[in-house]
């Protein structure tokens, strides 16, 4: 069994980080060291996100559209401006994940990894999005 939080930890968060890292380096022209400092990760991790060793490309296709993509762009802009404390960045991550639950994006990802849940009529992700 794979609970929704496992999908978030294993797929969603690494993909969000990969998308943020790529945007901060490519669009905002921050160095890998600076991105690592602002995201509180290591520079080798930044390198791995950039080379797609971390963060699933299949999940990126889902997250790169609509409201999630816009939220990530806004977060990237704020990080690049240096306007957020680490605790504020974490809060933004949580807001993005909760919105993914409400929009059934987590349901889509969860169903891909545990198709039997669809057959059972699972609504766990939707209930869990109302923390």
Q: What is the pLDDT, as a whole number, of residue 12?
A: 86
pTM: 0.82
User: Under the phi-then-psi rule, with left for phi > 0, alpha for psi from -120 to 50, and beta for the rest, what region is 129?
Assistant: alpha
pLDDT surpasses 60 at 128 = no
Contact 15, 56 (CB under 8 A): yes
Contact 74, 83 (CB under 8 A): no
pLDDT in tens, 33-64: 999 999 999 999 999 999 877 666 667 777 77
């Amino acid at each position: 069994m794979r609970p929704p939080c496992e999908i978030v930890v294993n797929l969603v968060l690494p993909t969000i980080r990969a998308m943020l890292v790529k945007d901060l380096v490519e669009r905002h022209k921050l160095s890998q060291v600076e991105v690592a400092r602002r995201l509180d990760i290591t520079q080798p991790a930044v390198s791995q996100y950039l080379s797609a060793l971390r963060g699933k490309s299949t999940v990126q296709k889902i997250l790169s559209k609509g409201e999630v993509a816009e939220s990530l762009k806004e977060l990237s802009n704020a990080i690049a401006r240096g306007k957020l404390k680490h605790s504020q960045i974490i809060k933004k991550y949580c807001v993005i994940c909760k919105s993914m639950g409400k929009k059934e994006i987590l349901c889509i990802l969860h169903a891909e990894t545990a198709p039997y849940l669809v057959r059972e009529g699972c609504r766990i992700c939707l209930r869990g999005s109302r923390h």
